[in-house]
Structure 1
Amino acid sequence: MDYLEIIILVLSFVVLLGLGVPIAWTLGISGIVTLLLNVESISAFTTIAQQMATGLNSFTLLAIPFFILAGEVMNRGGIAKRLIDFAKTLVGSLPGGLAYVNIFAAMMFGAIAGSAVAAASAIGSILGPRMEEEGYTKEFSAAVNITSSTTGLIIPPSNILIIYSLASGGVSIAALFVAGYIPGILTGLLLMGVAAFWAKRKNFAVGERSNLSEVFSTFIKAFPSLLLLIIVIGGIIAGIFTATEAAAIAVVYTLILGFVYREVTVKNLPDILMSSVNTTAIVMLLIATSISMSWVMSFENIPQDISAALLAMSDSKIVILLMINFILLFVGTFMDMTPAVLIFTPIFLPIVTELGIDPLHFGIMMVLNLSIGLCTPPVGTILFVGVGVAGTTIEKVIKPLLPLFLAMIIALLLITFFPQLTLWLPEVFGL
């Protein structure tokens, strides 16, 4: 087995990343360098360009810019505030109530917006000051906000699940969306358990109990936002429209909602569109270069070499899954989710399929695993957003983050070794 291509690929990637080259450029250059081992320079550059263009030629991927735009409208449309108010009437009176509110609101907002960054920014900016007023430390508030924001990547609709569907060669997006509910809710509940323990230990304040009329009032205000989930997910499951069509409907619905709430005006639209375009451009460049690197790896037979090496170490399903999880946890600390899913799905999916693991189950496991990486340095996007919104530093946030990390890892292990947590709902809906 020739490991030269693997060594060159990994070495060039690590060196470029260490030099501070943006991840998208790092992926593209590493792919070209590896391809030059066996292909002439003109052919190598032409092939990479072709693969980047071909990789983006997908109707499924059109859902991503629509969901990004919908998320941007939601972020500015007063939706987060209404969800927070509703969450506070439900769980705000429990010990560590505002921590619960943060997690619960992040689960709802992240599910609606499909963006962990949007959830961390919107929920953190609103709840952070409130939590400080009631005696919570900045660091604890930031830690809760950072980890809870990732639940929206698992609870649908989720852009990263769409990308996994593309990378896996066609796992049903509808099935992935439905499969994400129980793992996402389980992760949120475990985070709430840690937050309750920490709040009791630190004697954080307990909020006032809300009466039924307050719960009903805040629910009515939040209901139009929550209705979007029913429209999007219900429509996809029922086969009324595709994920891409659902994303377009989400844009129209959120715009109407933003105008009704009077939080979005015609003057805001250029800024909203420009922000969405910038985010979409970054995501699409990452997807294009990731797909080109994935093609190079396939051309050089690197996935087959890695598969053979892993299977040679053990034929135990448990051992292989633990090794894959460990590798993905490590990868997630320095690589964004999008390229990680596009590059490592073709490597690990054949291995787990050979072991009899459902691709649907593996997809949820992979996304949950890489979500943890978003909360860790040195490239943790949500970590940087969370500490920035809270006005604190990474060094101070690490201590309260550690028990929350542990909760997420426990959720990952449960999802990994109890596949019915992922597969039960898709089976119920016949997906």
Structure 2
Amino acid sequence: MTVLALLVAILLLLALRVPVAFAFLGPGLVYLVLDGESLGLPMRLVANAAGSFVLLAVPLFVLLGVIANRAGIADRLFDFALALFGRVRGGLGYVSVGVSLGFSWMSGSAVADAAALSKVEIPPMLRAGYSRRFGLGVVGASALIAPVMPPSIPAVIFAGQASVSTGALFAGSVLPALLMALGLCVVVFVLVRRQEGIVHLGFSRARLAAAARRVALPILAPVVILGGILGGLFTPTEAAAVGAAYMLVLGFGYGTLKVRDLPRILVETVTTTAAIMLIVASAALLGYVLAKERVPQALADLVLGFTDDGTVFLLLVVALMLLLGTVVDATATLVLVVPILMPVATRLGVDPVVLGVAMILALMIGLLTPPVGTVLYVLSSTQRVRVGEVFRGVLPFLVPLLVCCLLVVFVPGLVTWLPATLGL
């Protein structure tokens, strides 16, 4: 009854649009006070959660993404992809997926990608005769590649909570992210068959060569970041710092960044990081309360009484993440749920890297589904359309994303092959 009352209080606060961190923090503190605990305990729990060494990578990856956005890297990727695929029927749809895939190597945030790329990609689509609904759908769905493809902020959060190798989780996410991009391209192929009046761009070798020169240095960022991590040269935290410094050098070298831009970059990084860490800290406090009430043990007994099959367990986890992703922030869900699910996964022999990739994929789909659907609201704001219109555009693109979730569950080798090959 205590846990039920706690959950009802949290859901009520979320329904009243109280920020997730405070919706978790308030009931947790009330529980501890009524239980006679010292207020020094929640302070220690919050400080320990936010002070995790693994989470040091989060602000640096946020900084990397902010600098890449401010330095105009997305514009350069867009110009190159447009020069390469513009003449293909539906070329701007493929360009959108390709730019999101390329930009995902430098940004771990779907919301940031959707905000930045929608302003670059949707206006040219409208001018070329594509429907607004198609443009909203492909840009919104493509933005989900960013938090799956490394460097991924949710992967860093999961690795910290599950005590698994961040490098292994990064490597395991690569093939699923590529499959996401491939699936989205299939949907683009199907949808553009039905659209009339689409304008195709001519092909120019000179334009392609010029665009390739402009994108040559930015495209080396994945080599610097992931090559360093997977090659054992850097820890993820060090790789994020090197990547941010590399982007900063490019921005000043291209003239797209000025010294006066640095305060705004740092403020945006700090505010984004603070929001993430506050959620992490408050979810850790709530996790302590649930652990004290023996919720993990009860859940383990429930699952093991229902099934002893790891695949069925993963399906249940995906279903739970799809549900939670519609109403709760992904960071909060990972911090809260991972410590509860990991013991069950271990007893069933489920690979923690497979569990992490499956959870992240399912949670990210929640960014495109009401009522929370953060990416939906971002696109609604940047394009000045109703959220319902954005969701209708996104609907066809949810199919390949769900298929990717199922492939991870039923073909775990898609996740484990690359980490095993690299010896991670």
Q: TM-score surpassing 0.5? A: yes
Q: Distance in 1 between matches of 2:201 and 2:173?
A: 33
1:148-174 CA deviation, whole Å, 9 max, x = no partner?
Answer: 1010111111111111000102x1111
User: In structure 2, what is the equivalent of residue 180 of structure 1?
Assistant: 173
Q: Distance in 2 between matches of 1:152 and 1:357?
A: 25
After TM superposition, the structure 1 stretch with the greater mean CA deviation from structure 2, 85-94 or 105-114, is 85-94
CA contact (8 A) 2:168 2:419 kept: yes
Amino acid aligned to 1:257? L
Distance 1:224 1:191 in 2: 27
2:305 maps to amino acid: A
Alignment partners' CA distance in 1, 2:355 and 2:145: 17
CA contact (8 A) 1:52 1:288 kept: yes
More divergent stretch after superposition (28-37 vs 78-87): 28-37
Task: Name the counterpart of 1:20.
Answer: 17
Shift of the alpha carbon at 1:135?
1.1
Per the alignment, residue 82 of structure 1 pairs with: 76
Greater shift, 134-143 or 417-426, is seen at 134-143
- What is the aligned partner in structure 2 of residue 333 from structure 1? 326
- CA drift at 1:229: 0.9
- Residue 25 of structure 1 aligns with an amino acid whose one-letter code is F
The 8 Å contact of residues 77 and 258 in structure 1, kept in 2 or not, is answered as: yes
Partner SS for 1:378: coil
Deviation at 1:47, TM superposition (A): 1.5
Match of 1:240 in 2: 233
| Partner of residue 29, structure 2 | 32
Q: Distance in 2 between the 1:96 and 1:204 partners?
A: 11
**Counterpart of 1:205?**
198
Question: What is the CA-CA distance between 1:209 and the residue it aligns to?
Answer: 4.9
Matching residue of 2:336: 343
Aligned residue for 1:113, secondary structure, equals coil
Q: What one-letter code is carried by the residue in structure 2 that aligns with 1:123?
A: L
Query: For 1:160-192, what per-residue CA distance to the aligned partner results, in whole angstroms no more than 9, with x for missing partners?
Result: 1111000102x1111111111100010111111
What amino acid maps onto 1:273 in structure 2?
A: L
Please say if 1:8 is aligned against 2:5.
Answer: yes
Structure-2 change in CA distance of 1:206 and 1:424 (3 Å): farther
Deviation string 1:278-330 (CA, Å, 9 cap, x unpaired) is: 11111111111112212222222111111211221233333322222111100
Shift of 1:110: 2.1
Q: How does 1:10-409 map to 2 (within 5 A)?
A: 10-36=7-33, 39-40=35-36, 42-43=37-38, 45-169=39-163, 171-203=164-196, 205=198, 207-409=200-402
Give distance in 2, aligned partners of 1:374 and 1:134: 28
1:94 and 1:349, CA in 2 relative to 1: closer, same or farther beyond 3 A?
A: farther
Q: Distance in 2 between matches of 1:206 and 1:319?
A: 47
5+ residue gaps, structure 1, are none
CA change 1:250–1:191 in 2 (3 A) is same
Q: Which amino acid aligns with 2:396?
A: P
Partners of 1:416 and 1:218 lie apart in 2 by: 39
Q: Which moved more, 1:326-335 or 1:316-325?
A: 316-325
Change (3 A) 1:17 1:418: same
Q: How far, CA to CA, are the matches of 1:234 and 1:204 in structure 2?
A: 43
Task: Please tell me the residue identity of whatever aligns with 2:279.
Answer: L
5+ residue gaps in structure 2?
A: none
Moved more, 83-92 or 374-383: 83-92
Quote how far apart the aligned CAs of 1:212 are. Answer: 4.7
Provide the aligned C-alpha RMSD in A.
Answer: 1.6
